[in-house]
Amino acid sequence: MSFTGDAEPACTTAVRPQDVPARSLNAFRDYLAVRDRTIGLPRQEARSLIDGRTVVITGAAGCVGRALLRELAPYAPRRVVGIGLEERPDLPDGVEHVTLDIRDADALTALLVDLRCDLVFHLAAQRDPGLAEREVARTVTTNVLGTRNVIDACAAAGTGRLVYASTGKALRPYTSDVYAQSKRTGEWLVADAAARGAVAASAVRFTHVVDNAIVLDRFRTWCRADEPLRLHDKDTVFYVQSARESAQLLLTAALAPPDDTFRLYAIHDLGWPVALHDLALGAVAESGRTGRIEVVGHEPGYEKRPYPGLYDPRHSGDVSPLINGLEAPTVVPAPVGGVDCAVGRAALTPELRESYAHLAWVCARTTRQDEIRGVFDALAWSLLGHAVATADPASVLRIARLTEPHRPSMSDEHLRVDGLIRKHAGLSTAPDEAATRGSDDATDA
Q: Say if residue 203 is exposed, middle or buried (CB neighbours under 10 Å; 0-12, 13-18, 19+).
A: buried
pLDDT at position 5 is 39
The pLDDT value given to residue 440: 46
Per-residue confidence (pLDDT) for residue 414, from 0 to 100: 96
Question: Would you place residue 161 in the very low, low, confident or very high pLDDT band (cuts 50, 70, 90)?
Answer: very high
CB 274 within 8 A of CB 27: yes
Predicted confidence at residue 303, as pLDDT, reads 77
pLDDT single digits (tens) 393-436: 999 999 999 999 999 999 999 999 999 999 999 997 654 444 34
Give the pLDDT mean for 223-247.
93
Average pLDDT over every residue of 5-22: 76
Average pLDDT (314-320) is 88
| CA nearest to 286, candidates 20, 14, 12, 13 | 20
Q: What is the pLDDT of residue 430?
A: 58
**Residues 6 or more apart whose Cβ sits within 8 Å of residue 245:** 37, 38, 39, 267
Q: Among residues of the chain, what percentage have pLDDT more than 70? A: 93
Strand, coil or helix: 332 = strand
pLDDT of residue 304 exceeding 90 = no
Mean pLDDT of 297-323: 86
Overall average pLDDT of the 359-385 stretch: 96
The mean predicted confidence, pLDDT, of the chain is 91
Q: Rounded to a whole number, what is the distance in angstroms from the first to the last CA of the chain? A: 38
Q: Read off the pLDDT band of 175 (50, 70, 90).
A: very high
Neighbours of 99 (CB within 10 A): 12
Number of alpha carbons in the 13 Å side-chain half-sphere of residue 23 = 4
pLDDT at 439 over 60: no
Q: Using only C-alpha atoms, what is the Rg of the chain?
A: 22
Span 341-368, mean pLDDT?
A: 95
- The size of the chain, in residues, is 445
Overall pTM > 0.85: yes
Domains located in the chain, CATH noted:
33-272+305-343 (3.40.50.720), 350-443 (no CATH)
- Is the pLDDT reported for residue 209 higher than 50? yes
pLDDT at 233: 84
- pLDDT of 431 reads 45
The pLDDT of residue 258 = 92
Q: What percent of the chain has pLDDT over 90?
A: 84
In this structure, the number of other CB atoms found within 10 A of the CB of residue 43 comes to: 10
